[in-house]
Amino acid sequence: MDYKNYFDKGISYDTYRNNFQKEMQASPPSAYAQYLPQNWQRQARLDRKLKLSEELSAVVSMLQAPQHWLVISEHWCGDASQINPIIAKAAETNPSMINLKFVYRDEHPALMDAHLTDGRSRSIPILLLLDENFHLLASYGPRPAEAQKLVKSILAESGDYNIPLHTWYAKDKQKSLQIELAGILQS
């Protein structure tokens, strides 16, 4: 996998956010227009109010070698609206060691297919942690482990997981993701 090529095609978090706003205002509306306003509100709230845990801040601050973080995402994804602000804020904590970029899942099917959830699902967001030479160190996603268990159990019953999942995110207050991301970075 030529991760450097994908990274070079990537965009900054600010550009991702600007593109998100443009998609919400697009005429004609995108096929996913119904999901965008609520996802925008979630993401904007976290961008404004999120404070990283001391543990994650410390781990990110102590990185010794440069890393490239590549996030596979889409604006319509509810999980992305909950997770991308945390990834962006973590990267901002140590900009001399972390270079963050985003790519759109639907524009890069080969990259997405190399990082399927459970070997079959194109679930996002997916964070790829790459070393300074663009070798894959680790991947994370599409959501915290406890949330993933919740989604799988609801899907097994053929149910809609949207409301229970975002209720879980509201109760968790982004703690699980920060714990899991700190764990990955420490290993």
Residue pLDDT, tens place only, 123-173: 999 999 999 999 999 999 999 999 999 999 998 887 788 899 999 999 999
- Number of neighbouring beta carbons within 10 Å of residue 129: 17
Span 112-118, average pLDDT: 95
Q: Give residue 66's pLDDT band: very low, low, confident or very high (50, 70, 90).
A: very high
- Half-sphere CA count of 5, side-chain side, radius 13 A: 5
The total of structural domains in the chain comes to 1
Tokens encoding 139: 């991947």
Phi, psi of 156 (to 5 degrees): -65, -25
Residue for token digits 């970029």?
A: 101
Range of the domain at 154: 3-186
The percent helix, strand, coil of the chain (3-state, each to 5) is 55, 15, 30
Q: What is the CATH number of the domain that holds 14?
A: 3.40.30.10
